[in-house]
Amino acid sequence: MIVNLKQDGWQVIYHRAHALLAAQLAGQWRRKDAPPRLYETVAAISHHDDLEREWEGNELTEAGMPLDFTLEQGTSVKKLAEQIASACYRGRWVTLMTSMHISRLTEPSRGTSKELDKFLDEQLELQQRYQQELEIPQEDIDVAYAFMQWCDRSHSSFVSNSSPKMSGRWK
């Protein structure tokens, strides 16, 4: 969840709602400047946080405040693999974008467990295989993923009252 402290409590935004709003932002993009496979990329953006089901667990800090995603202590490899499996039902492009997103977020934890390292290696293989199967140049993939990141970070920044960290073409 994205949690903002307010004068009278908290503003809580579930990850799935955030992902939908980030996709709406992407959907408003000027078509002539859009990344390759815009519609499939918007689908990936709208589902990039499907892993999160905040309402199913005890998502509170020790102090009793709603748990902001920045305070989480990692995600199980099983849950990550389930998200990739779910993305497969939306097609290879959505799976590729989702895999890249999960890899980017979890790569800094490489080396903390053999299970995670194996999962990350499998994601790199999946990404290479889908690139070949889809016959998409790496540059197109990079541009689409940078757009996905921009929409994700921009919306996160809007709702958390901060400035987005930008990189790549979508600065």
| pLDDT on residue 46 | 84
pLDDT, tens digit (0-9, with 9 covering 90-100), for 123-142 = 999 999 999 999 999 999 99
C-alpha distances in Å from residue 17, one per residue of 14, 48, 111, 161: 5, 11, 32, 17
β pairing state of 9-13 and 2-6: antiparallel
pLDDT, tens digit (0-9, with 9 covering 90-100), for 36-85 = 898 998 888 888 665 665 556 667 667 767 665 655 666 789 989 998 99
pTM of the predicted structure, to 2 decimals: 0.77
Cβ–Cβ < 8 Å for 90, 84: no
